[in-house]
Structure 1
Amino acid sequence: MNNQFFERTQSDQIASLTVTAHEVLKLYGVLEAEVECINYEFNATFAVTTDSAQKYALRININSTRVRADICAEIEWAQYLYRIPEVYVPAPIANLHDDYVTSIAHSDSGRLLNCVLYTWLEGDVIGDEPSMEQLHLIGRTIATLHQSTEKFQLSPNAQLPIFKDLLWGTEDYLFGPKSQLSDKDRSVLHEAAVQIMKFTDELYENSSAQIIHADLHGWNMMCHEGLIYIFDFDDCGYGLLAQDIAVALYYLDTPEQESALLEGYRSVRALPIYSDNAMKALLLQRRLMLLNYLCETNNQEHKQMLPKYLDQSLERASRFLTDVRG
């Protein structure tokens, strides 16, 4: 593995991965195409326009720790959801070998990268400022997604993690040997983490796990002709519906926004059972997962966010501990 690749500028990294994207597309029979990087955070996503004006989205897993069996599970679930009325998702595309996961050597990073190709979604990314109407629709969409997936089963060739642990299977940069936190900061966050796991364990004792998206926010949703489209399934796994809802709520700013989303959900099905403190725990867990990501990421832009994000996380952890102690 060549870690020097991740020390290069983001534009240099994107240029290298764009070359790789063209190589990957040849394995799908796409020899001539315009390729543009539209997102480079955790992984690299490219908009692909062929010479016949067909459009696709190509994702190259440059930072993901997901193995082939995980990605196969993502593909199986996306294929299943694509056939469900009132659930709108892109369709996975097979390569010339009839495989939905394409692996390619990337010499600059020294990594074997897994790639997936999806149909293109029209519309506008919802982003950070959803309207109240959109939030109601998002709630309905999440509820329909949950309802449709209750009995879905993966094939023996696919696997997904179960989200029972604090960091959902990712390497621990908060409390493990690679932690760079001060003893004081680590102590506050660890005390909060203990409480988070207490509530999580209680939720798992009283609820059944199923496949959840696990990354439902406005940058993974699009609105087109009054419909909500969901994409970016690479974080999916077995979890609780309350965990999926908590992720969606985490990115909202006001109680009114939260109410709009939850009312939309309730218009389709009842909310899962959770206490106010349990939801606070799940919301803080999301915060700690993102903090952990900032501690380990190779993304230079994201690394710069860490000091401020850590301070805010400590404040939230302290408030949470005050709330749960009564």
Structure 2
Amino acid sequence: MSNLQAESWKDALKVFNEVAAHGINTYPALTQEVEIKLINYSENATYLVTDPKTEMKHILRVSRPNYHTKVEIESELKWLKSIHDSSPLSVPMPIKGRNNEYIHSVRLKNDPQEYYCTLFTYLEGKEPDESKESELINQFENLGEVTAQLHEHSILNHNTFKRKNRLTWDYENILGDRPKWARWQDGKGITPERKELFEVVSKTIKSRLETFGKTRDRFGLIHADLRLANLLVDKDQISVIDFDDCGFGWYLFDLGTSLSFIEDKLYVPDLVESWMKGYRKVRALTPEEVEEIPTFIMMRRLQLISWVGSRDNETAEALGEKYSEDTDRLAIEYLQTMR
């Protein structure tokens, strides 16, 4: 990553901050007086850009180098525009820069790396609070409805969307030998005993998904990262942000991603029931789909173990080995139910 080959995530973030400072100058919608504040650093660095005079707000994303190509990012933005133009969903919209394009390339002095910047409209709302159980359960009913609307839009435009240049989130790319992120086997806290347990889980997931299949009504273009941090709740409306990982996968995988990092909470079954209630307002769920929900939750959990083990940021640092250790109970319960 050139300048991003740093000793720690804090050093890498300094480079992103410098890129962002350059990036804001490429958008006529922004004045010279805007203030930049980092709001999230995960796969990418995301900044709140505020004009102190007008109080106008935007979101600037600096994409992590070598994660997505420019063509892939363009496909993401085209899908966002499609959702905005022909569905009731609330999503951020990209804003063109001085080059009349949505993506701007930034290069730093003495750094051969190319960095991509994208400016988005700002959406009101707050991230759901995992500590507020009853509130979250109610919100998951709305989330289920929103997710179903997203899936309906994907299915209706299946032939158009299948030509988009986006990655595929199937078993091989999540838990296979050469996954997109990393191997869960290389995650933190993977002891020989734990590895043996998770191997059985992984093989069970693979077998069940081969039977489940990839028919058009089950597999298509999905958000693929509907975790709480990518949702904004404003009164009764849920806006969906951060389509950076959107790709082709099982529709029910979006439910699995909604439970990211909270899969072991005791209220998860209530969240799932609430989500299904909302989802069924828009789309039906077959008995086979309902039966397979634990598989998609478990697959996401193993995928996140690989993420924690391969990422250098504050979130991964905080989760550490404990995230793998806490997966033992979930893995045993999954095998008891699904094998």
Same-fold status (TM-score > 0.5) = yes
1:195 and 2:204 are equivalent in the alignment:
yes
Number of the residue aligned with 2:250: 240
Q: 1:42 to 1:64 in 2, by over 3 A?
A: farther
Which of the numbers 99, 102, 120 marks the counterpart of 1:97? Answer: 99
What SS does the corresponding residue of 2:213 show, helix, strand or coil? helix
Report deviation, 1:278: 2.4
1:290 and 2:304 are equivalent in the alignment:
yes
Number of the residue aligned with 1:314: 328
Contact kept in structure 2, 1:56 and 1:120, CA below 8 Å: yes
What SS does the corresponding residue of 1:283 show, helix, strand or coil? helix
In the aligned structure 2, how far is the partner of 1:40 from the partner of 1:195?
34
Contact kept in structure 2, 1:6 and 1:299, CA below 8 Å: no
What is the one-letter code of the residue matched to 2:228? G
In the aligned structure 2, how far is the partner of 1:120 from the partner of 1:287?
30
Report deviation, 1:208: 4.2
* Range that drifts further, 110-119 or 231-240: 110-119
Report deviation, 1:322: 2.7
In the aligned structure 2, how far is the partner of 1:240 from the partner of 1:4?
33
Number of the residue aligned with 1:46: 47
TM-score under structure 1 normalisation?
Answer: 0.87
Contact kept in structure 1, 2:65 and 2:113, CA below 8 Å: no
In the aligned structure 1, how far is the partner of 2:237 from the partner of 2:289?
31
Q: 1:48 to 1:298 in 2, by over 3 A?
A: same
What is the one-letter code of the residue matched to 1:122? E
Deviations 1:186-234 (A, max 9, x none): 2222221111111222222555422111111222111224211111101
Report deviation, 1:96: 1.2
* Range that drifts further, 268-277 or 35-44: 268-277
Which of the numbers 160, 175, 185 marks the counterpart of 2:194? Answer: 185
In the aligned structure 2, how far is the partner of 1:72 from the partner of 1:139?
27
Number of the residue aligned with 2:7: 7
How many pairs align? 322
Equivalence map 1:72-83=2 (5 Å):
72-83=74-85
Number of the residue aligned with 2:147: 142
Report deviation, 1:85: 4.2
What is the one-letter code of the residue matched to 1:42? E
- RMSD over aligned CA atoms reads 2.8
Report sequence identity in percent. Answer: 23
Contact kept in structure 1, 2:39 and 2:48, CA below 8 Å: yes
Q: 1:273 to 1:132 in 2, by over 3 A?
A: same
Contact kept in structure 2, 1:42 and 1:64, CA below 8 Å: no
Number of the residue aligned with 1:34: 35
Number of the residue aligned with 1:217: 227
What SS does the corresponding residue of 2:119 show, helix, strand or coil? strand
Contact kept in structure 2, 1:167 and 1:289, CA below 8 Å: no
1:165 and 2:171 are equivalent in the alignment:
yes
Number of the residue aligned with 1:113: 115
1:174 and 2:175 are equivalent in the alignment:
no
Q: 1:9 to 1:181 in 2, by over 3 A?
A: closer
Number of the residue aligned with 1:151: 156
In the aligned structure 2, how far is the partner of 1:261 from the partner of 1:240?
16
In the aligned structure 1, how far is the partner of 2:156 from the partner of 2:206?
27
What SS does the corresponding residue of 1:102 show, helix, strand or coil? strand
Q: 1:108 to 1:222 in 2, by over 3 A?
A: farther
What is the one-letter code of the residue matched to 2:7? E
Structure 2 regions of 5+ residues with no counterpart?
none
What is the one-letter code of the residue matched to 1:20? V
What SS does the corresponding residue of 1:150 show, helix, strand or coil? helix
What SS does the corresponding residue of 1:7 show, helix, strand or coil? coil
Which of the numbers 64, 84, 87 marks the counterpart of 2:86? Answer: 84
Contact kept in structure 1, 2:309 and 2:320, CA below 8 Å: yes
Q: 1:111 to 1:37 in 2, by over 3 A?
A: same
Contact kept in structure 2, 1:241 and 1:272, CA below 8 Å: no
What SS does the corresponding residue of 1:86 show, helix, strand or coil? coil
Report deviation, 1:79: 0.5
What is the one-letter code of the residue matched to 2:221? I
Number of the residue aligned with 2:277: 263
In the aligned structure 2, how far is the partner of 1:165 from the partner of 1:275?
17
Report deviation, 1:266: 0.9
Q: 1:155 to 1:323 in 2, by over 3 A?
A: closer
